[in-house]
Structure 1
Amino acid sequence: MRLEIGNFYVKDIIFGNETSYRDGILSINKEEALKIVKEDEHITYADIVIAKPGDEVRIVPVKEAIEPRYRVGGGPIFPGVTGDLMQCGNGKTHALKGCSVLVVGKHWGGFQDGLIDMSGEGAKYTLFSSLKNICLVADTDEEFERYEQQKKNRALRWAGMRLAEYIGNCVKDLEPHETEIYELDPVTKRSKEINDLPNVVFVMQPQSQMEELGYNDLVYGWDCNRMLPTFMHPNEVLDGAMISGSFMPCSSKWSTYDFQNFPMIKRLYQEHGKTINFIGVIMSNLNVALEQKERAALFVAQMAKSLGADAAVVAEEGYGNPDADFIACIVALEDAGVKTVGLTNECTGRDGASQPLVTLDRKANAIVSCGNVSELIKLPPMKTVIGELKSLARDGLSGGWADDEILGPSVKEDGSIIMENNSMFCGDRVAGWSTKTMVEY
């Protein structure tokens, strides 16, 4: 499979009479864009606000991030979700780089939502502070889950995808600034020079813990809780096969933007043919019952061994219960003779003194840490809030609280906040963006 991603770099975003891209300037016709958003009758309120790096802006509750794209030759950006099923990862796709569509609740948040600061101390915690963000601020009539701590956010998430497709369409007839090419020969038809290199497989564990449909990540529109480990071409992940769900404390999650730009996949591509033979991706899952976890680990190990893998990288989306899947998978691979490195964050408590993962094993002796979900973060007030700041304390965001006997409420009267890293939107960047690690003293 050969995927060509044509990149259009966005220098600035403005509102204008048309949605267009010229000389690095993305112009958005807000009225047209909002019509696309409001195609879903469940959307009761919607606005679009632009937030740029350096702005004195705090955004909360953030639910999703998507890179605007266009599939050259036609077809949806997200097959099986925003349109008919079709193969991802082969052909040409145009991408607007340096920007994202952020889906933000007008009022109501939940356990899975997060916060972004566009400047100041908080900006260093999340990749999205460095992007120009097209914030879709919206509300719905989905009263059945308004006061639920865990929300599916379906209408809002789908509205964000429609908006990303609409904006991406403006570059359909243009020539990109540069083109990234991702191509792998079939596993059994590679040259001797490549086959003589160490064979490496990337094992991804997207969030799929919820047995009720609607919360989990999707693969071609299929709920990942209903799948068994599956061999996929890495191009499929980069080209819209994977959609972020609405579950998992926010610092640990992979947004759809992360799937579209997955750094670990791109890094393995960079080494392919030089230091490694990048075999491809085993898309696994995260389960609830112990038997399910063991079954998935056995499938992953068998698949990796059958593909001839010498080494593997395993990355989990989440922590806590998923740690059991993560460690079981590493152990099964090691038992199969596949040298394995893990990629995850940790939950070591606010003081950093707790056990980092729920379960551990001596065979999991090479783990890259992306940070501590429980780290306390104190941030001063921001001049502007997009969304509603009260949601951090009121709505059960995983790193916020209404009151604490020692720390008081997360949101102070002056607009300053104290929260756990848990609430920082994709803050631990487990996809491979992370600049953080843990230090042993």
Structure 2
Amino acid sequence: MKLEMGYFHVQDIVFGEKTFFENGILTINKEEALNIVLQDENITYADLIIAKEGDPIRITPVKDAVEPRCKVSGGVMFPGVTNKLVPVGQGRTHVLKGSCVLAVGKHWGGFQDGLIDMSGPGAKQTMFSQLNNICLVADTNEDFEKNQQQKKNKALRWAALRLAEYVGNCVKDLEPEELDVYEHLPLVQRSKEVRELPSVVYVLQLQSQMLENGYNALVYGWDTNHMLPTLMNPNELLDGAIVSGSFMPSSSKISTYQHANNATIKRLMEEHGKTINFLGAIVSNLNVQLEEKQRSAFFVRQIATSLGAQGAIVAEEGYGNPDSDFILVVDELEDAGIKVVGITNECTGRDGKSQPLVDLSEKANAIVSTGNVSQFIKLPPMEIVIGELESLARDGNSGGWAESVLPDGSIEMENNGVFCADSSTGNHYKTVVEY
């Protein structure tokens, strides 16, 4: 399976009479773009606001992030979600690199929604402060969700997907500035030299703890609560086969943007044929009941051993209850003779002295920490707020509380509520070091 990714590097975003890309500048016809958003009758208000790196801007409540892209050949964007169900991971995809669509609530937030600061100390907490962001600020008539701690946010999240594709289509017929090629051959077609390298598999544990449809991560549009661990070609993940769910404390969430830019997968692909034989990605789920957790762990072990894996990277989306799924998979793989490196955040309390994971094992002896969700942070006021700052304290944000927002607009909160601050794909620069 061969995938070409053509990159167009966005240096600035402005509004204009038509949507086009030229000389590093992305120009967007705002009225036309909003018409794409308002195709959903559930959206009652929508606006677009540009937020760039270094701007004195605070954005909240953020619900998802999507990279503007278009398929030139070999599939569609977001298959099984906003477009028909067809395979992806092959052909050519064009990408407006350095830009991002953020789905932002005009008023209502919740447990799963986060905050992004484009400058100041808060900007160091999340990678999205470094991008040129197209903030889709919208409200909906989904009144049943407004007072719920957990929200599906479907209308706004799906609108962000459509908007990202609309913007991405402006480079469909252009020649990219840079081209990356990802080719993942079947195991039997690999050369003897590649097959003799250490064989490594990547295990991605997606959040899927909600029994009702609409909250969990989607694979080709399929709710991951209803799936068993599945072997996927890594090209499929890089080409948009996974859409982020709404259920997950914000700092631990893997956004749709990060799924399609999974830095761990990209590095494994880069090392393939040089230092490792990269076998593929096992996409797994995170469950609630112990029997479900054990079943998934058994399937991960069976797939990995059938492939002949000697090493594995296991990445967990979230913390708390999912830690038991994470540790079960590590134990199963280690018992099968497969060496494991885990990637996860931790919940060690504000003083850093609490147990980092709910479940532990002596076999989990190589873990990369992506941060402490309980880290206490103080953020100064910002000149501009996109969305509604009060939602952080009012609507049950996972890192906020009733007194989080101070009268001068400054914030006291936990890292838990910073958008994708410590998700496990490697798309960040923050970690915890043990001395």
- Same-fold status (TM-score > 0.5): yes
Q: Distance in 2 between matches of 1:293 and 1:194?
A: 34
**How far, CA to CA, are the matches of 1:220 and 1:185 in structure 2?**
21
- 2:418 aligns with 424
1:133 matches 2:133: yes
Residue number in structure 1 paired with 2:17: 17
| Aligned residue number for residue 100 of structure 2 | 100
Q: Give the match for residue 269 of structure 1.
A: 269
- Equivalent residue number for residue 195 of structure 1: 195
Q: Distance in 1 between matches of 2:298 and 2:75?
A: 36
Flag as ranges the 4+ runs of structure 1 deviating above 4 A.
Answer: none
- Give the structure-2-normalised TM-score: 0.99
8 Å CA contact retained: 1:127, 1:429: no
Letter in 2 for 1:433: N
- Partner in structure 2 of residue 76 of structure 1: 76
CA apart distance, 1:187: 1.2
CA drift of 1:224 comes to 0.4
The one-letter amino acid paired with 1:438 is: V
Size of the alignment, in residue pairs? Answer: 435
CA contact (8 A) 1:344 1:369 kept: yes
Superposed CA deviations along residues 325-365 of structure 1, whole A, max 9, x for unmatched, are: 00000000001111101000000011111100000000111
| Structure-2 residue corresponding to 1:397 | 397
User: What corresponds to 1:39 in structure 2?
Assistant: 39
The equivalent of 1:178 in structure 2 is 178
Supply the distance in 1 between the matched residues of 2:396 and 2:390 (Cα, whole angstroms). Answer: 11
Distance in 1, Cα, partners of 2:21 & 2:430: 35
Distance 1:191 1:325 in 2: 35
- String of CA shifts for 1:94-127, please: whole Å, max 9, x gaps: 0000010000000100000000000011101100
**Structure 1, 226-235 or 427-436: larger mean CA deviation:** 427-436
1:372 paired with 2:372, answer yes
Aligned to 2:237: 237
Task: Tell me if structure 1 keeps the 8 A contact 2:102–2:136.
Answer: yes
Q: 1:11 to 1:434 in 2, by over 3 A?
A: closer
Aligned to 1:260: 260
Work out whether residues 225 and 287 of structure 1, in 8 Å CA contact, stay in contact via their aligned partners in 2: yes
- Corresponding residue number in structure 1 for 2:287: 287
* Equivalent-residue separation in structure 1 for 2:184 and 2:240 (angstroms): 18
- Paired residue for 2:316? 316
Per-residue CA deviations over 1:409-434 (Å, capped at 9, x if unaligned) read 10000000010000110001421123
Q: How does 1:319-338 map to 2 (within 5 A)?
A: 319-338=319-338
Partner of 1:405: none
How far off its partner does 1:188 sit? 1.7
Aligned to 2:356: 356
Distance 1:84 1:218 in 2: 14
> Given that residues 76 and 88 in structure 2 are in contact (C-alpha distance below 8 angstroms), is that contact kept between their aligned partners in structure 1?
no
Of 263-272 and 431-440, the range deviating more from structure 2: 431-440
For 1:370 and 1:117, locate their aligned partners in 2 and report how far apart those are by CA, in whole Å: 19
Distance 2:379 2:170 in 1: 38
Query: Cα offset for 1:437?
Result: 2.2
SS of residue matched to 1:284:
strand
Aligned counterparts of 1:309 and 1:110: Cα–Cα separation in 2: 40
SS at match of 2:73: coil
Unaligned runs of 5+ in 2: none
Deviation at 1:74, TM superposition (A): 7.3
After superposition, what is the alpha-carbon deviation per residue over 1:151-176, rounded to whole angstroms, capped at 9, x for unaligned? 00000000000100100010011000
The answer for the alignment partner of 1:406 in structure 2 is: none
Q: Distance in 1 between matches of 2:308 and 2:359?
A: 28
Shift of 1:73: 3.2
Please give the secondary structure, in 1, of the residue aligned with 2:264.
Answer: helix
**Post-superposition shift, 1:189?**
1.5
Determine if contact 1:126/1:429 at 8 Å carries over to the other structure.
no
CA distance in 1, matches of 2:52, 2:291: 47
- Separation of aligned partners in 1, 2:241 and 2:427: 20
Question: What is the Cα deviation at residue 75 of structure 1?
Answer: 4.8
Counterparts of 1:73 and 1:291, CA distance in 2: 42
User: Equivalent residue of 2:285, what SS?
Assistant: coil
Equivalent residue of 1:39, what SS?
A: coil
Partner residue, 1:410: 404
**Distance (whole Å) between structure 1 residues aligned to residue 214 and residue 389 of structure 2:** 26
Alignment match, 2:144: 144
Offset, 1:65: 0.2
Calculate the aligned-residue CA RMSD, in Å.
0.8
Give identity over the alignment, percent: 68
